[in-house]
Amino acid sequence: MNIFITATNTNIGKTYASKLLIKEFSKQGYKVGVYKPIETGFNKIEETDSFALLKEAKKYNKNINDLTIDDICPYQFKLPSAPIVAKNNTPILKEKLLSSLEKIKELCDIVIIEGAGGLFVPIEKDFFMIDLIKLFQAKTLLVSHSGLGSINDSILSKNALRDMDYLFCINLFREKESFREITYPYYQAINEDVLFLEEDISAIASKISL
């Protein structure tokens, strides 16, 4: 099973969500692998999301002990920008993306795939982060923030995913004190039972693995 972690923007909590799911699925007895197909701002390896994901997954799944950063992140670019800019003239090949994923899948029951930025971060002129979800035939976890503006951000992303298999949750880390007053009433108004990333991680894992 492939589970793609995306968010309403950058710095919302994709890596945090991925690490929580690695731990939760491992507790349930699954062998979990990780995949970060493209990472920009890739300078010091120890400071990358790829390194954090691989380090966390290796705590629980011995099958992936021999995997390296290059295995789980086939495209690494130094410039901290959208891949279409950071890659310069390097072509990002769908065949390479798929073959790298297949190597990881052979060692795991579940692969947590972390995207970069939001759904419409461009990889090529006509190829976006959301297209990776389709390419990998993955279920999707959409993570939103809890600050002012998250309603608009969430609606836009949910609309983009409307024909896809996804689960929505909120990472309660911005403006936590005002969230119940400023943002939560919207979800009450539309009768949505909101899942919160940290406190509801068991429910999130169960729902997304169905």
Residues assigned a catalytic role: 36
* pLDDT tens digits for range 90-106: 999 999 999 999 999 99
Residue that wins the pLDDT comparison between 73 and 210: 73
d(CA 115, CA 39): 8
The answer to whether the CB of 120 falls within 8 A of the CB of 128 is: yes
According to the model, what pLDDT value does residue 177 have? Answer: 87
d(CA 165, CA 137): 10
Tokens of 52: 């954090």
According to the model, what pLDDT value does residue 210 have? Answer: 76
According to the model, what pLDDT value does residue 85 have? Answer: 97
Average pLDDT over residues 200-205: 96
d(CA 99, CA 74): 10
According to the model, what pLDDT value does residue 209 have? Answer: 86
pTM value? 0.95
Dihedral over alpha carbons 155, 13, 35, 69 (to 10 degrees): 150
Beta strands (DSSP E) in the chain are 2-7, 32-35, 38-39, 75-76, 110-114, 122-124, 127-128, 139-145, 166-171
Helix axes 49-58, 14-27, angle to 10 degrees: 10
The dihedral region occupied by 5, where left means phi > 0, alpha psi between -120 and 50, and beta the remainder, is: beta
Residue 157's identity, in one-letter code, is S
- Considering only CA atoms, which of 143, 208, 204 is closest in space to residue 174? 143
According to the model, what pLDDT value does residue 143 have? Answer: 98
Can you name the residues that pair with 35 across neighbouring β-strands? 113
- Considering only CA atoms, which of 107, 95, 131 is closest in space to residue 54? 107
Please report the DSSP string for 81-138 in residue order.
Answer: S-HHHHTTT----HHHHHHHHHHHHTT-SEEEEE-SSSTT-EEETTEEHHHHHHHHT-
* pLDDT tens digits for range 31-89: 999 999 999 999 989 899 999 999 999 999 999 999 999 999 999 999 999 999 999 99
208 confidence band (pLDDT: 50, 70, 90): very high
CA 144-69-3 angle, to 5 degrees, is 35
Domains of the chain: 2-208 (3.40.50.300)
195 confidence band (pLDDT: 50, 70, 90): very high
* pLDDT tens digits for range 145-177: 999 999 999 999 999 999 999 999 999 998 888
- Considering only CA atoms, which of 157, 139, 158 is closest in space to residue 204? 139
